[in-house]
Structure 1
Amino acid sequence: MAPTSFLAALHTAVTGLRATVQEQFAPLGLALLNQRPSPSSWSMLECLEHLNRYSRYYNPALGKAIANSQPARPAEVAYSWLGRKSVNLMRPDNATKQTTLKRMNPLGSHLGWKTLAEFDQHQSGLLELLALAQTADLNRKAVPVEFFRLLKLRLGEALEFVVVHQQRHVQQAQRVQHGLRAERAR
């Protein structure tokens, strides 16, 4: 995909995620936002906190990669083996359960409105990064993988990884919300 179309698609996705959280989760009470479907499952806020924890790492790493990037090239966005695998594992339509790192697992956290505000701030920052990425070489390996920093993703695949990871967990939060509604309707 051409870089301009690629970044526009990611921008649309992030804008949609931000709207979903603002419209579907922000109006709910904290008790409902913190309610888990089961003791070992995440609440809606825990899903968002998980994303916040990743954003705390990836947004600055992406910003640094963009700032240090070579000028943009008109070449199609390319993927390394690691990048393609990482993106495909996180796609929302991939039903394979993934185990998260302990430090990224928010299960049992005491969460409040700050979680929603932080999520929104991270999305705003990501939208700014996507705009800045218009001038960067998306095919340059520049973003260290959070759990093993010796491995690096290309800038484009790292941006897509972050977005599909967010889509996956916002959809998870939506499933929690729908499940709780169904439970209440019984």
Structure 2
Amino acid sequence: MNSLEQLSQTARGLYETVATEFASLDLGFLNFKPAPESWSILECLEHLNRYSRYYNPAIAKAIAKNSDGKFVQSISHSWLGKKSLDMVRPDNLKKNKTVKHMNPNNSQLGRATVEEFLKHQQELLNLLQSAKGADLNKKAVPVEFFKLLKLRIGETLEFVVVHETRHVQQALRVKQQLEKRAAA
């Protein structure tokens, strides 16, 4: 189980990693794909941007509606929340098929993708701060691909951070492969 403080630390770390590891890379490196069906660094970040475009406003709305003095700071998980988290954990090596509109494979991407990711990270850090005044166990965030299902505020924040960790690690592996090629 993660606390809001742990999630904030992880989100800050992801911001720093992307800013230091990717922001200064040549556009050719950012678009390098180890294999045709795998994602480039920019595609990993664009995938996360697509999720952030939906989840950041949805979480903000849920926090605003559930910050009425009934603060519940510990994150507990529903069955759906546990399942969602297990799917995106970085140590889950099973490849998951992403829904079509969230799959950035073969997109034309540029530096703006990195800048957008960093902007979304700032928003997420602000949301994690705002969540300190909310009931984290309120089911209030509609699931992106099936809006009739709702996740709890806390588990949604955890899902977003864990999902980002998975794909930033994926982008770092792409960078490692690139460095190996350059050294060879």
Alignment TM-score, normalising by the size of structure 2:
0.96
Count residues with an aligned counterpart.
183
The counterpart of 2:129, out of the listed 114, 128, 131, is 131
Return the alpha-carbon distance in structure 2 between the equivalents of residues 75 and 102 of structure 1.
35
Deviations 1:60-89 (A, max 9, x none): 000000000043434632110000111121
The one-letter code of the counterpart of 2:163 is H
Contact residue 72 and residue 137 of structure 2 kept, 8 A = no
| 1:35 partnered with 2:24 | no
Deviations 1:3-36 (A, max 9, x none): xx70000000000000000000011100110010
Q: CA 1:87–1:71 in 2, change beyond 3 Å: closer, same or farther?
A: farther
TM superposition shift of 1:96: 1.1
Return the alpha-carbon distance in structure 1 between the equivalents of residues 155 and 29 of structure 2.
35
The one-letter code of the counterpart of 1:185 is A
The counterpart of 1:57, out of the listed 54, 73, 84, is 54
Instruction: Name the Cα RMSD after superposition.
Output: 1.2
Return the alpha-carbon distance in structure 1 between the equivalents of residues 183 and 141 of structure 2.
46
Return the alpha-carbon distance in structure 1 between the equivalents of residues 107 and 73 of structure 2.
44
The one-letter code of the counterpart of 1:131 is Q
Alignment map for 1:1-186 (pairs within 5 Å)? 6-69=3-66, 70-74=68-72, 76-186=74-184
Runs of 5+ unmatched residues, structure 2? none
Secondary structure at the aligned position of 2:3 is classed as helix
